[in-house]
Structure 1
């Protein structure tokens, strides 16, 4: 009789969920470096590593709230960045290469998702926020983005609340998303 094979990566991916509410604890920079080192192993045509991550803690989040308000034409700073103790701004840094920009953006998005998965597996709550403001001039300036860089969004990171429901998301109907070449 064959022993069942343990598949921890499959279990981690299947158990991942977004945590829109988190506590005020967050991973250290040392923990982030370990996660980024692993996340950087995503498929990357020509090994360009066309991405970087900016940490926002403390007053950095207030600065982002002001930039979001400016981008959205509001006079009052947005409180959205204060919903987590740590925000990770995921930036695509497009390199001059034969590799098209869209493919480089896909790499950066892959890194963002991998970071989210790794942090979730390490016990942290993560929620990926995007929106039109990611491309706004005030938000670009607040993050110090350079020419050829675009913000893909922020990973809001904090502790998983103890009283939160830990139910799994519904499994997708994979058959609806898989087909053969016509």
Structure 2
């Protein structure tokens, strides 16, 4: 049986995904970003808990984040890391009390929203890279983002324009058979 992809734009966007470590100063407006967030928030979400939130960092916000990163690392001044893109979107897992949905599953939802948003931003013409670091779990960085006790920072989407001189990504296609298998047959199944 052959599967026909009816929306090749979606397939092409997913198959062509890459990280952009270098971007230009172009960035989506708040309204453009909000429209994409509304679509990204449609990921599978057991019990519709919406255990995530996003924080938009632009301009001086990036300087404040740089100071928090340096404080977390025991340095003075501000790290220049947040200056690598004109827009950073902090991805926050905002855990909800639930007898049905474990913490790991809620974190997976937050990660799914971030990944979906990165695909939408890429399709809209922006370069994106999801950056993390050990300081995402630091008190200084958590305070800078206004995180609550039930929240964890999963990293930032660094967003900017795609440089005109950018070369194609280095990612090679995966070999699906290395990662896709059937459930093993157990002794009880063999009779």
TM-score, normalised to structure 2's length? 0.91
SS in 2 for 1:111: helix
Distance change >3 Å, CA 107–CA 161, structure 1 → 2: same
Q: CA 1:5–1:90 in structure 2 vs 1: closer, same or farther (change >3 Å)?
A: closer
1:79, CA displacement in angstroms?
0.2
Secondary structure of the 2:154 match is: strand
- In the alignment, which residue of structure 2 is the partner of 1:118? 120
Give the deviation of 1:9 after TM superposition: 1.0
**Equivalent residues of 1:20, 1:127 under 8 A apart:** yes
| Kept after mapping to 1: 8 A contact 2:66/2:82 | yes
Q: What is aligned with 2:84?
A: 83
2:22 corresponds to which residue? 21
1:168 Cα deviation (Å)?
A: 6.0
| Deviation for aligned residue 1:169 | 2.3
RMSD, aligned CA: 1.4
Q: Do the aligned partners of 1:15 and 1:168 also contact (CA within 8 Å) in 2?
A: no
Q: Give the TM-score taking structure 1 as reference length.
A: 0.95
Per the alignment, residue 137 of structure 1 pairs with: 139
Kindly indicate whether the alpha-carbon contact (under 8 Å) linking 2:128 and 2:158 is maintained by their aligned counterparts in 1.
Answer: yes
Query: 1:87 touches 1:154 (CA, 8 Å); kept in 2?
Result: yes
Task: Assess if the C-alpha contact under 8 Å between 1:16 and 1:121 holds in 2.
Answer: no
- What is the aligned partner in structure 2 of residue 56 from structure 1? 57
- Residue 5 of structure 2 contacts residue 11 of structure 2 at CA under 8 Å; is this kept in 1? no
CA deviation vs aligned residue, 1:105-154 (integer Å, no higher than 9, x gap):
00000000000011001100001001111110000000000110000000
Q: Does 1:104 align with 2:106?
A: yes
Counting matched residue pairs gives 180
Structure-2 separation of matches of 1:20 and 1:6: 28
What is the CA-CA distance between 1:24 and the residue it aligns to? 0.6
Contact 1:57 1:86 in 2 (8 A): yes
Q: Output the CA distance in 2 between the equivalents of 1:117 and 1:77.
A: 30
> How far has the Cα of 1:167 moved from its partner?
4.3
Match of 1:160 in 2: 162
Q: Distance in 2 between matches of 1:104 and 1:5?
A: 31
Judging changes above 3 Å, is the alpha-carbon distance between structure 1 residues 13 and 4 closer, same or farther for their aligned structure 2 residues? closer
Which structure 2 residue ranges, 5 or more long, are not aligned? 185-191
- Structure 1 stretches of at least 4 aligned residues deviating more than 6 Å after TM superposition: none
Which sections of structure 1, spanning at least 5 residues, go unmatched?
none
Counterpart-to-counterpart distance in 2, 1:59 and 1:23: 18
CA deviations 1:154-181 (Å, max 9, x no partner) are 0000000011113462101111001111
